[in-house]
Structure 1
Amino acid sequence: MTDKERILMVIISRIIPGLAYSYSMEKRNEYIDSCMLSPEKLNRGDLVFANTTMFPNEFMVGFVDNIETTHVVIREIGSQRLCNYSNESFTKINKDKLGYEILEGVQYQIYQKVLKAFSKYARYSIRFKSISFENNVCSVMGRRMFDSETAFSIFFPYSGKTSIKEIGRRIVEAEPDINKYS
């Protein structure tokens, strides 16, 4: 499954049910935010869908790349292709409701490797908590089983060549401090 197919499936499976079962505008706004006639509500990196596009196309659901005075530049999911939309209304999708499956490319690959490293190298009582990316550094948080507090963090430069073993080594190195309590 491509990045684009996976992200669109996650949107369908998580956003649509949330909207279908929300009985109030407040609940609805937890999932989506209409930016009709308000392009100033858009930010770079927002996941949006075009509301008034007549014909389906590759850019109907995508990431905001840039906001200009005359148009909004949308990046196609799973690629670097760009499209200028003018005279269009957008709805923002709350990415927090979608989880890490909306990561793309190398970041998604690293996320998958981190999960495998936790399952292969971490002690039974240690669980994956979260992952984030800034510049070329990946930050991973771990937690103790049955506890939502962060027990440890690891940071490492990442690329497509980062291995599960390398991530696992970092987890093991971080564990001695936390395992005296588990």
Structure 2
Amino acid sequence: MRDKERILMTIITRIIPGLLYGSFDKKEEYVKSYMLNPSGICKGDLVFANTSLNINDFVVGIVDHIENDCIVIREIGSNRLCNYYNESFSVINKEKLGYEILEGVQYKIYQKVIKAFGNYTNYCTRFKSISFDGNMCTVQARKAFENDLFFEVSFPYNSKTTTASIGKLLKEKDL
């Protein structure tokens, strides 16, 4: 499955049930409309274009940047950009989606990290979180049945980073 398909399926399976079965007053925990206040939209937000009449590749996308007269949206899973003028957006809460919204190399690194935890750490050591900053990846671990930080490793990543190299770092910290 491509990034775009996976991310759209994640939105459908995690956001729609929250809207359908959650209470109306908690709706904004999942999706927040910025129809009357577009200044609340920020770079990096995952957005849905509410007033687009024609379905296109950018109806659900990521805010690349904001200009004086438009919001520039990046297509999920690509570097293609689209300028939106006179559009109303809703911001989708990425925290409700988890790591399934990572794209490209970052998603592949996430998958390798999960595999490395299974293959290179003790049974009681579990994945806690992953973050990316430039070309650096930081992974946090926790103990089973706890949520406190057990250890953290950081490493430079690229498309050639292997599960074994990640596993070696995890194993060194997992004492």
Q: What's the TM-score, normalizing by structure 1?
A: 0.95
**Which residue of structure 2 aligns with residue 22 of structure 1?**
22
Residues of 2 paired with 1:118 and 1:175: CA distance?
10
- Report how many residues are paired: 175
DSSP-derived class of the 1:17 partner = helix
Q: How does 1:107-146 map to 2 (within 5 A)?
A: 107-146=106-145
Instruction: Render the CA deviation track for 1:27-67: whole Å, top value 9, x for unaligned.
Output: 10100110103221011000000000001000000000111
Residue in 1 aligned with 2:49? 50
Which residue matches 1:8? 8
Structure 2, gaps ≥5 residues long:
none
Distance of 2:36 and 2:22 partners within structure 1: 24
Deviation at 1:24, TM superposition (A): 2.5
What is the 5 A alignment of 1:146-157? 146-157=145-156
Write the distance in 2 (CA, Å) between the matches of 1:118 and 1:98: 21
Q: Residue 68 of structure 1: CA displacement? A: 1.2
* Cα root mean square deviation, aligned: 0.6
* Secondary structure, counterpart of 1:128 in structure 2: strand
Cα distance in 2 for partners of 1:145, 1:23 equals 32
Q: Give, in angstroms, the shift of residue 69 of structure 1.
A: 1.6
Q: Distance in 2 between matches of 1:10 and 1:75?
A: 18
Q: For residue 44 of structure 1, give the secondary structure of its aligned residue in structure 2.
A: coil
Amino acid at match of 1:5: E
Question: What amino acid maps onto 1:171 in structure 2?
Answer: L
Q: Return the TM-score normalized by structure 2.
A: 0.99
Letter of the structure 1 residue corresponding to residue 8 of structure 2: L
Deviations 1:74-115 (A, max 9, x none): 000000000000010000000000000000000000000000
1:61 corresponds to: 60
Distance in 1 separating the partners of 2:162 and 2:128? 19
- Residue 21 of structure 1, CA deviation: 1.1
2: distance between equivalents of 1:38 and 1:62?
Answer: 19
Gap regions ≥5 residues in structure 1: 177-182
In the alignment, the residues of structure 2 paired with residue 111 and residue 80 of structure 1 have an alpha-carbon distance, to the nearest angstrom, of: 20
Aligned equivalents of 2:146, 2:23: Cα separation in 1: 32
CA distance in 1, matches of 2:24, 2:55: 29
Aligned to 2:92: 93
Q: Which runs of 4+ in 1 moved over 6 A?
A: none
